[in-house]
Chain A
Amino acid sequence: MESLDIQATKSSPLVAFDPAAGVLQIEGQSYPENPVRFYEPVLSALEGWLTEKTAAVLTVNINLSYMNTSSSKCLMNLLDRLDSASRAGRTVSVNWYYDRDDEMAYESAEEFREGLEVPFNVIALQD
């Protein structure tokens, strides 16, 4: 089972995936030069896990203080995948953290959530 332990850089977030616990953590800033390439291993680890562990519960924590538009699209892809797993009967939940002082960060979370059936908690970060 593939685990992930990608350290954060100035422009890319920490990504940690613990297959045993069923927890995926994405945290930091996301504006790498090639977001598609950056998120590809994340999607592929997730895909492998969903195929192999057919009964396990998955929690995804996303805490990004900034993401560029290309990263947003990659995250939307990831959320779509989680949503289809949820619709197929898997127990998946998303915790999306945002800066409580930034109104647009809240609106952005709502935009991601719109139309998804996967449980999606939008959580304000305290100062």
Chain B
Amino acid sequence: MLDTLLFDLTNTLGQENLLLTFCGPFSQGIIEELGTALRGYLSTTKNLSQLRSSVFSIFIEQTQNIRNYFRTRAIDELSDSRHGYGIVVIGNDKDKFFVSSGNLVYKADLEPLIERIEHIKSLSKEDVQALYKQTLRNKQVSESGGAGLGFIEMARRASEPLEFSTTVIDDRSSFFTLRVVI
């Protein structure tokens, strides 16, 4: 059963042109290891430095977002593997890189998260840039230690608008996905 599943998964992932897939607990150590692997891969490509640094940056922001969220909400990655795991993929689609990730989000946190992303999506590139500068200079740090810059950074490095989706898991939580095309 599992053997067939692994075979099917590999085929499915291959069809999506994914270079790297990780599903599991997002510890800082794992983020660093995946980041190193990604750096290694990107350095072998003929892409511009700016593109390489954007792919890396968006990967780090997405994975550290998930890591920080789980830590802040005390979602235990090991004791509740069904809910505590996140997933991240990096792929290549029509000559563009994308970074997509998914994770559980509690119902109470979903609305503010969507509002924040919708707000950033509604801004022009210039306004995103202005918001970045303004946020860089305010002294606020969120409860998770975040700078409030992650989504703004992704939006300013992206070549297409941020895309997200939500799927209800149960009455307490949803599965949230984010896709950023570079």
A70 to B152 alpha-carbon distance, docked (Å): 12
B64 on interface, CB distance cutoff 8 Å: yes
Q: How large is the interface on A (under 10, 10 to 19, 20 to 34, 35 or more residues)?
A: 20 to 34
Residue of B nearest to A100 (CB): B49
A33 to B63 alpha-carbon distance, docked (Å): 11
User: Are A72 and B36 in touch, CB under 8 angstroms?
Assistant: no
Q: In the complex, what residues of B have CB within 8 A of residue A101's CB?
A: 48-50
Q: In the complex, what residues of A have CB within 8 A of residue B60's CB?
A: 31, 66, 68
| Distance of B162 from chain A, by nearest CB (Å) | 15
Q: A68-B60, A111-B132, A114-B133 are in contact. Are A73 and B50 (CB under 8 A)?
A: no
The CB with the most chain B CB atoms within 10 A, among A35, A77, A104, A114, is that of A104
User: Are A102 and B149 in touch, CB under 8 angstroms?
Assistant: no
User: Are A66 and B32 in touch, CB under 8 angstroms?
Assistant: no
User: Are A10 and B32 in touch, CB under 8 angstroms?
Assistant: yes
Chain B residues engaging chain A, CB cutoff 8 angstroms: 28, 31-32, 35-36, 48-50, 53-54, 56-57, 60-61, 64, 67, 132-133, 136-137, 139, 141, 145-147, 149-150, 152-153, 157
Select one of B31, B54, B150 contacting A69, CB under 8 A: B150
User: Are B141 and A73 in touch, CB under 8 angstroms?
Assistant: yes
Residue of B nearest to A37 (CB): B145
Can you name 29 A-B residue pairings with CB atoms under 8 Å? A10-B35, A10-B36, A11-B28, A11-B32, A31-B35, A33-B64, A33-B67, A36-B145, A66-B53, A66-B57, A68-B64, A69-B146, A69-B147, A69-B150, A69-B153, A70-B64, A70-B141, A70-B146, A72-B136, A72-B147, A73-B136, A73-B141, A73-B149, A102-B48, A104-B53, A104-B54, A111-B132, A111-B133, A115-B137
Q: In the complex, what residues of B have CB within 8 A of residue A66's CB?
A: 53, 56-57, 60
Q: A10-B36, A111-B136 are in contact. Are A69 and B149 (CB under 8 A)?
A: yes
Q: In the complex, what residues of B have CB within 8 A of residue A34's CB?
A: 145
A52 on interface, CB distance cutoff 8 Å: no
Q: In the complex, what residues of B have CB within 8 A of residue A111's CB?
A: 132-133, 136
A68 to B153 alpha-carbon distance, docked (Å): 9
Q: In the complex, what residues of B have CB within 8 A of residue A57's CB?
A: none
Q: In the complex, what residues of B have CB within 8 A of residue A105's CB?
A: 49-50, 53
User: Are A68 and B57 in touch, CB under 8 angstroms?
Assistant: yes
